[in-house]
Amino acid sequence: MKCMARDYYDILGVARSAEPAEITKAYRRLAKKYHPDVNKSQDATDKFGEVQKAYDILKDPQKRKLYDQYGHAGVEADASAGAGAQGFDPFGGSGSFRRSYSGPGGFTFTTDAGDMSELFEQMFGGRGGFARQRGSSPFGGAQASPRKPEPLRHTVTVPFQTAAQGGTVAITLSGPSGKQNLDVKIPPGTDNGAKLRLRGKGHPAPNGEPPGDLILTVRSAEHPVFRRDGLNLLLEVPIALDEAVFGATVEIPTLSGRATLKIPPRTAGGKKLRLRGAGITDAKGNAGDLLAIVQIDIPEQLTDEQTEWLKPLQGQMPNPRENLDGWK
């Protein structure tokens, strides 16, 4: 004989009068404790599923009311027949009624609609009643389909260029059924922290049901010279003082190779010069730009000739701080 299902409040370790916030707090604590990614014991997956099912019922006000009134049989009937918590009559009647039912060995009992919880205890594994068979519904017909396993979650760090331009990375997952090696395709333009869902690559399901999904969080490693702003690339480009004053054409790196950048005369430090379309192109064909941020490089040591060349400029240049707020 199959054991009676555990009380959902006992599973979460909360009182029947618990507030929703208490139920959520208890669920998060237990889910973290039994999540198969963290807990490698053989029964962790079963316990995690038990906690998840209890939370799914108790977090929903209607399902919780139905469970409080009729127990497990009530919420199972609601799942398979779509019955609501209000006016629920598992035998198709309405209002008050009094009926007799026969059990094994000629046992009979009589109940009122107001004492349905006692009726269900007698029928489905309570005080000397019937035991419900697996896969059957107390009200006839098939039970609701088994819940799909909770998604398996994993984080992978990929090179900056793989996230920007796309590529394939190999990952290894460990679970109750052993290690699983996967080659995962990273779409071009993948943001740092983006989540990819791989269907059927998660936790195995019992009884031959389809496995759950894998939710993969993609982290992008830092690049030595590029930074990212959406689909735009930011690049700090150092230029010499004479290039800033007189202008120049310089060579800079891009993700796909080298490019030339024109520095206009009298370019100030911090100015952003744009190379259109030289940024990141995503899977939909949307392209960003490369923004070159000019940094004027002043050498720490100058030759005597360079120093003499600069002396006539000393004290002759406009004050660059005159527009600062509060400057006197």
At 274, the amino acid letter reads: R
What per-residue confidence (pLDDT) applies to 230?
Answer: 93
What per-residue confidence (pLDDT) applies to 111?
Answer: 40
At 72, the amino acid letter reads: H
Q: 0.85 exceeded by the pTM?
A: no
At 276, the amino acid letter reads: R
Q: What does the chain come to in residues? A: 328
**Going from the N-terminus, what domains does the chain have, and what CATH number goes with each?**
8-123 (1.10.287.110), 152-220 (2.60.260.20), 226-312 (2.60.260.20)
45 three-state secondary structure: helix
Q: Is the distance from CB of 57 to CB of 64 less than 8 angstroms?
A: yes
Cα separation values, 73 from 12, 88, 117, 126, Å? 19, 12, 9, 12
CA distance 219 to 309: 50
Helix residue spans in 225-315 (DSSP H) = 241-246, 304-310
What per-residue confidence (pLDDT) applies to 102?
Answer: 39
What per-residue confidence (pLDDT) applies to 253?
Answer: 93
Place of tokens 């940024």: 279
What per-residue confidence (pLDDT) applies to 150?
Answer: 82
What per-residue confidence (pLDDT) applies to 78?
Answer: 66
> Which stretches in the chain have pLDDT values below 50?
1-2, 82-142, 327-328
What per-residue confidence (pLDDT) applies to 79?
Answer: 63
CA distance 294 to 78: 66
CA distance 200 to 327: 64
Provide the phi-psi class of 45: left if phi over 0, else alpha when psi is between -120 and 50, else beta.
alpha
